[in-house]
Amino acid sequence: MSDTPVSNQARTEVKVPAAGKTSTLPSDSMEGDYIVSTPGKMPLTAIVFGALSGILLLAVVGFWMKINAQNTSLAESKNRIAQFESATEQLHAQLDEAKADSAKLQSRIDDARARSDRLNSLVDKTKAGAAELQVQLDKARAISDGFQSQMENANVASIRHQGEVEVAKTQVTVMQTQLGEAKTDATRLQAQLNESRANASALQEKLGNAERTIAQLPTARR
């Protein structure tokens, strides 16, 4: 630009891009010639920058929402894992309790079986004792029957032989005494046999109760 001062009467034409027209302005208030640009239209760079800023903002918002959703999903997953672990611990506790109950039940079953075996042994011994007492009772009855037959024969002989009456009476007395002892022995053996049978019946009843108890117990899990 020239340093020569411009005459006051000269007018400088300033192009102002407003609505595609030029306007002529006086140069009284100006020191020189300037081309003044007015923002009639937004530059393309500003439009592109604004669009990119909006896209970036949308991307940031979307990324933030995605991260928030992932955090929520992660928290829910952690809650589900915690619930699953709690349920697993409860199941383990229930399983341990069930195993303890099963062991106790198995112990009760073993005790009941042991008692049943002992009762079976006692029943067998009692039955053997009763059989032996029955044999002794049969022997005593046979002896008693023999004494009875001998006494009857003695009575017949005493009738037949009057001269031997005293001897026969003496023999009869002895035989009666022996017969009384034999009857006493037979009575005693009969009482022992009855007592043995009663004991056998009681043991048999206990054995039946034990077997019913074992049958009512549930089978233990192994």
Q: What is the pLDDT of residue 28?
A: 43
Give buried/exposed letters for 126-160 (b at 16+ CB in 10 A, else e): bbebbeebeeebeebbebbeebeebbeebeeebee
d(CA 196, CA 38): 135
Fold of 91-216: Helix Hairpins (1.10.287)
> How large a percentage of the chain has pLDDT more than 90?
3
d(CA 117, CA 210): 10
18: β partners: 21
Mean model confidence pLDDT for the chain: 76
Q: What is the pLDDT of residue 164?
A: 64
Q: What is the pLDDT of residue 25?
A: 43
Query: What confidence tens digit (pLDDT) does each residue in 202-212 have?
Result: 888 888 888 88
Q: What is the pLDDT of residue 156?
A: 75
Amino acid at 116: S
Query: What confidence tens digit (pLDDT) does each residue in 82-136 have?
Result: 888 888 888 888 889 888 988 988 888 888 888 888 888 888 888 888 888 888 8
Query: What confidence tens digit (pLDDT) does each residue in 143-188 have?
Result: 888 888 888 887 776 676 666 667 767 878 888 898 888 889 889 8
Task: Evaluate if residue 222 carries a pLDDT over 80.
Answer: no
Q: Where in the chain is the domain with CATH 1.10.287?
A: 91-216
The pLDDT confidence band at residue 64, using thresholds 50, 70 and 90, is: very high
d(CA 87, CA 28): 92
More confident residue, 107 or 34: 107
**For residue 127, which phi and psi values (nearest 5 degrees)?**
-65, -40
Q: Is this model's pTM higher than 0.85 or not? A: no
Mean pLDDT, range 55-62, rounded to an integer: 90
d(CA 123, CA 203): 6
Q: What is the pLDDT of residue 4?
A: 41
Q: What is the pLDDT of residue 12?
A: 40
Amino acid at 91: L
Q: What is the pLDDT of residue 150?
A: 83
